[in-house]
């Protein structure tokens, strides 16, 4: 008999409105689940619920919380057919990306889901998201960390939160969907990774990572302070294929400072679709010449999670660059 482990970490799905706004409420999700007769249908796998304490709005999630989830999945891995992680939508794509690196070689599904409208509010999307996620986790046809939202299943490290109010809040712009839940759940096998052999769990530690979003007329000076502050990595979100303005040599000064401190620089694109390609335009040539790391078509979320993973494993310099630019867990097309 298939059995799923469901972990509730917090997020809108189990929130109630208080004076200061929506907050996750202890015991509320379990109470709402007990009011769902659908969960007793034979098609829906049985599940155990683990509720974290404290429950978090996902804006408050940090690497320690990724660790807690990964450790729990690792510890309980043999006891369940699959896992459903209920999580706030705001940083779900970061957590899904982080888990995809921390839990490698999966042969069971880890499905992250949540809702845009809390349980107990009319027109909530919590019910559908939970039932479909439980069924996907119980059917065990997707040995990946994935995100289920708005009837679609996405690869976790390719997913992005695209809308703050639509029920279809997520997309994976650079990778096709893994499954779709219509009348039936339809799996797109050719998009799904093959199962791994044995789960490899890697913990991550604190890393000081900053993201610099390039804007027209940016003044690089203001970033001097951040760079002086012992950064472990600097992610730059450039325009288009990774282009950045070189204002009267300001950029060169900034970059040479970064180079002196051996801080890795990773170039992502602000575009939702497509890939970074350094050296295509003169405006990215300098980045290439200082050996900046190219994120190709990785999302910024996956880039940050991958940095946590690789820096925690001790990779630096050329070794870090090589791994960042290599596909490790389905996060990058090359």
> Which residues lie below 8 Å from residue 275, measured CB to CB, with a gap of 6+?
174, 241, 269, 296, 297, 333
CB of 38 to ligand ASP, least distance (A): 22
CB of 61 to ligand ASP, least distance (A): 8
CB of 232 to ligand ASP, least distance (A): 25
Say which of 89, 95, 124, 269 is annotated catalytic. 89
14 lies in the binding site for ligand ASP (CB under 6 A): no
CB of 284 to ligand ASP, least distance (A): 34
Whose CA is closest to 114, among 210, 222, 22?
22
Chosen residue from 57, 71, 72, 180 binding ligand ASP by CB under 6 A: 57
150 lies in the binding site for ligand ASP (CB under 6 A): no
From 4-12, 46-54, 282-290, 303-311, give the range in contact with ligand ASP by CB under 6 A. Answer: 4-12
CB of 90 to ligand ASP, least distance (A): 3
11 lies in the binding site for ligand ASP (CB under 6 A): yes
Chosen residue from 59, 253, 291, 333 binding ligand ASP by CB under 6 A: 59
Report the alpha-carbon angle 174-172-312, nearest 5. 85
Q: Can you list the alpha helix ranges (DSSP code H) found in the chain?
A: 28-34, 63-76, 92-102, 126-139, 224-228, 250-260, 282-289, 300-312, 317-324
> Considering CB under 6 A, how many residues would be counted as binding ligand ASP?
11
Say which of 12, 113, 299, 300 is annotated catalytic. 12
| Number of helices (H), then strands (E), in the chain | 9, 18
109 lies in the binding site for ligand ASP (CB under 6 A): no
Q: How many CA atoms lie within 13 A of 124 on its CB side?
A: 21
CA distance 243 to 145: 32
Is residue 299 annotated as a catalytic residue, yes or no? no
Is residue 124 annotated as a catalytic residue, yes or no? no
89 lies in the binding site for ligand ASP (CB under 6 A): yes
Whose CA is closest to 277, among 241, 323, 311?
241
Give the active site residues.
12, 89
């Amino acid at each position: 008999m298939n059995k799923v482990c469901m972990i509730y970490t917090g997020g809108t799905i189990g929130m109630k409105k208080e004076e200061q706004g929506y907050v996750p409420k202890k015991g509320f999700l379990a109470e709402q689940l007990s009011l769902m007769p659908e969960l007793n249908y034979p098609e829906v796998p049985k599940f155990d619920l683990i509720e974290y304490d404290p429950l978090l709005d996902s804006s408050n999630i940090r690497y320690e919380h990724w660790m807690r989830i990964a450790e729990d999945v690792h510890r309980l891995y043999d006891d369940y057919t699959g896992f459903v992680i209920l999580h706030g939508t705001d940083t779900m794509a970061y957590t899904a990306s982080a888990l995809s690196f921390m839990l490698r070689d999966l042969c069971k599904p880890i499905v992250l889901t949540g809702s845009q409208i809390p349980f107990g509010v009319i027109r909530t999307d919590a019910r559908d998201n939970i039932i479909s996620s439980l069924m996907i986790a119980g059917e065990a046809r997707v040995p990946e960390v994935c995100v289920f939202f708005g009837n679609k299943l996405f690869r976790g490290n390719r997913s992005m939160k695209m809308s703050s109010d639509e029920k279809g809040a997520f997309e994976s712009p650079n990778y096709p969907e893994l499954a779709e839940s219509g009348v039936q759940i339809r799996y797109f096998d050719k998009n799904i990774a093959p199962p791994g052999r044995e789960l490899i769990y890697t913990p991550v530690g604190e890393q000081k990572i900053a993201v610099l979003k390039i804007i027209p007329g940016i003044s690089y000076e203001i970033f001097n302070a951040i760079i002086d502050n012992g950064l472990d990595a600097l992610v730059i979100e450039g325009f288009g294929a990774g282009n950045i303005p070189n204002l009267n040599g300001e950029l060169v000064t900034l970059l040479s400072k970064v180079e002196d401190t051996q801080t890795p620089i990773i170039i992502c694109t602000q575009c939702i679709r497509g890939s970074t390609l350094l050296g295509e335009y003169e405006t990215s040539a300098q980045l290439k010449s200082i050996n900046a790391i190219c994120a190709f078509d990785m999302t910024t979320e996956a880039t940050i999670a991958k940095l946590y993973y690789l820096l925690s494993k001790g990779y630096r310099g050329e070794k870090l660059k090589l791994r960042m630019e290599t596909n490790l867990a389905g996060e990058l097309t090359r």
